Structure 1
């Protein structure tokens, strides 16, 4: 049988290539030599086991083979092949090897009861190697999954931090993540991430640690690729999520920063619907200075009167002087509006007709 091992190994490899589609091109690449070596090692290990039996000496003799099977399982993950494909290769290999080796044994006069024992040993041996390969495959799959997840999280943080384009492209390649046309940053509580992800693309990036500019350990960020905004908002409905603008992937750090600013203002939902509020809050001190200057004339009247006049001035500017609309908006009589606007003209004078002063008043009252 040992004299026929090379021929048997060739037959095993040929059968695997012919019957297991996933291996048709495998032997042409660098993994091919590894697989052929594993086949030869397995056949030699089997004959060693058959010669020594299932006693401890025989088990020790195949430890190297079992370790090789474990590494083979790991290598198949890196080659992109499933455990199902590897198990199919084992079944085909066992069948072909058994036919070849048993034929040689029968020709040499092996008694029937020993042929049966030989067959039992083949199945036990293949089970042992299959189990070792399955363990290697599972361990590598879990490890590679964790590695890729870390790479994806690092990529998300680089995008959110506005890292250089070349840096992001390298990180995306390492994480096997295709750069999309658009991205949308979403800030939400960590506890709500799991419930949202099923409604989003599987390519959505998640960052929950070391978020740029965030100290809240309960905050998480989703970086959602190429999503229709209405679909995204629908998926986030009823959740405490803040949705930044949808931008090109190179500008997603801006989407993230806007979501953070909106979150600081306790905005929930679509930041596109809160643009005036975000603009006014961009420089709080500048807004306070503008209000103090633009609304200085109201300081000449009592506080309660100033509040009513300010409210009327805001409505009058927004309604472009339409008295009836102002009255309806404020729930007062049109004559009350007439009186208040007259008082405002006394206080502000020609400023109410100056476009620059009107702009300042609109912003101050925003």
Structure 2
């Protein structure tokens, strides 16, 4: 913002800053930099709240409202949302105050550059200060009210129950405690484990599975839970692994399988909801890294991981196995001609001795698994 003609009003200055994506980005960055808890939230979520509070404050300033008479519903909702997302009131205030301080710096810098007299800037900043203090009080009120509601619904007790069930099983857990959270001793449940999402997505996932009668909480730094049924549409931007329904006494075993499958799926950069049975083969193979290393050395010792052509050969062979050893389907999947696939497979056979690539030839199942495992782990290496 530069000096052009007569100086703009203080209100016009604020409108320009609130509409300036660079200025708003600086306020968002300051809020996240001053609070590690706020920094765990998606930047878009912090940006949305900053814009909301800025435009709301601008409206109050232009209408010359007394902060004591202002309706701070949005600020209270912000506090309540952050409480539900696990952000402490101290962490929240650090973010709010960091953003406020950066906004004041921007107002002073741009106001002076635009030629607004210091006394006008001072009067406007005092008004903003009174509004900001009222906003902070409303944020804290909303946060504390939400904390009381969460405590009343037994969120900490729910997390403790889940840790007990998933790690040790239902033995010794009173039926009344299970019933408190909608579980039955004779019930059958899906065990689910998810990569630890940001607080906003975690809260959304809690609501989604709660609608199915599920119970979710943090177990060993993962989001995990039990649910009698799955939602019609699972999350698409988050990795969740689910076991088939089993009695409660099978919960620890299901949790261990889901946790192992989650690590494998995360390594493969999968997203969405996956059944642990669909991940059975890669999960079982991933549990034997020493054997995988031996297999790579024996079957693929003739390949150089630094050679791009060799990596192209291995990628093609893996796609060939994934497509049922069909040249036409492999070619379609790789967007190349079938003759290209045939040539690459023959070159791989010349370098390594396998797998067989004659027209119509098929690897026996054990041989397919050996080559698939060797190729998959060879390509996964840095």
Query: Which category of TM-score, normalised to the shorter sequence, fits these structures?
Result: 0.3 to 0.5
Q: Which has the higher contact order (CA 8 A, sep 6+)?
A: 2
Q: TM-score, normalised by structure 2?
A: 0.44
| More helix as a share of residues | 1
* Higher Rg of the two aligned structures: 1
Q: TM-score, normalised by structure 1?
A: 0.46
